């Protein structure tokens, strides 16, 4: 009975865990900038990347707090006919992209806690809008010409700015099964 209850509880906890998605961030520590392959991390960012590696830390309490200043240029291309441009460029800025990790390690056990943005995390500004906004207007010249009003071009002035951030918190317990280290 206890074993069945434990299995049901584990399934109930695991099923809602959605790993990743279209706006999933993988740069969850400043160390990621130096080395994007953090899968085998044995440092404090292993709270996120490799919880099993936490058992190799020294005994005691460990804290990590870091921030990244992220800027990107995003270019969206389109082949939609009739648009005045085929590329729309935006600037993405995330001045505050924090990661916090805490680990308490004693003998073969490590208890961990992590907090960081798991999606979004900044703002994007497209000074000339987005193709999906302009597509409705781009069809007007052909529609007006077909209705007997000669029209050969259009002018559309738009701008888009958006912000999003999704924070995640995680807790974990790691146990060292054996002393093999490879």
- The answer to the question of residue 1 being in a domain is no
- The answer to the question of residue 43 being in a domain is yes
Model pTM score: 0.69
- The answer to the question of residue 56 being in a domain is yes
Q: What is the DSSP string of the chain?
A: -HHHHHHHHHHHHHTT-----TTB----STHHHH-S--TT--STTHHHH-GGGGGGSPSEEEEEEEEEEEEEEEEEE---TT-S-SEEEEEEEEEEEEEEEEEEEETTEEEEEEEEEEEEEEEEEETT--HHHHHHHHTHHHHHHHTT-----------EEEEEEEEEEEEEEEE-------
- The answer to the question of residue 180 being in a domain is no
pLDDT at 12 over 70: no
- The answer to the question of residue 101 being in a domain is yes
- The answer to the question of residue 10 being in a domain is no
For residue 158, give its domain range. Answer: 24-175
Please count the structural domains in the chain: 1
Tens-place pLDDT, residues 26-69: 677 777 766 677 777 888 888 888 888 899 999 999 999 998 88
- The answer to the question of residue 11 being in a domain is no
Tens-place pLDDT, residues 73-132: 989 999 988 888 899 999 988 888 889 999 999 999 999 999 998 887 788 899 998 998
């Amino acid at each position: 009975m206890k074993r069945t209850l434990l299995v049901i509880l584990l399934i109930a906890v695991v099923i809602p865990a959605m790993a990743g998605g279209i706006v999933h961030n993988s740069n969850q520590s400043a160390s990621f900038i130096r080395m994007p392959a953090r899968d085998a991390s044995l440092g404090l960012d292993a709270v996120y990347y490799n919880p099993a590696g936490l058992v190799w830390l020294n005994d005691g309490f460990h804290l990590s707090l870091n921030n990244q200043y992220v800027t990107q240029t995003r270019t969206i291309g389109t082949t939609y006919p009739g648009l005045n441009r085929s590329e729309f460029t935006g600037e993405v800025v995330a001045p505050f992209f924090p990661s916090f990790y805490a680990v308490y390690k004693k003998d073969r056990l490590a208890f961990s806690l992590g907090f960081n943005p798991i999606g979004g995390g900044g703002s994007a500004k497209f000074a000339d809008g987005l193709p999906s906004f302009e597509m409705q207007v781009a069809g007007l010249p052909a529609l007006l010409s077909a209705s007997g009003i000669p029209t050969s071009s259009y002018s559309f002035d738009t701008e888009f700015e958006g912000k999003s951030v999704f924070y995640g918190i995680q807790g974990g317990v790691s146990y060292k099964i054996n002393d093999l280290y490879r």
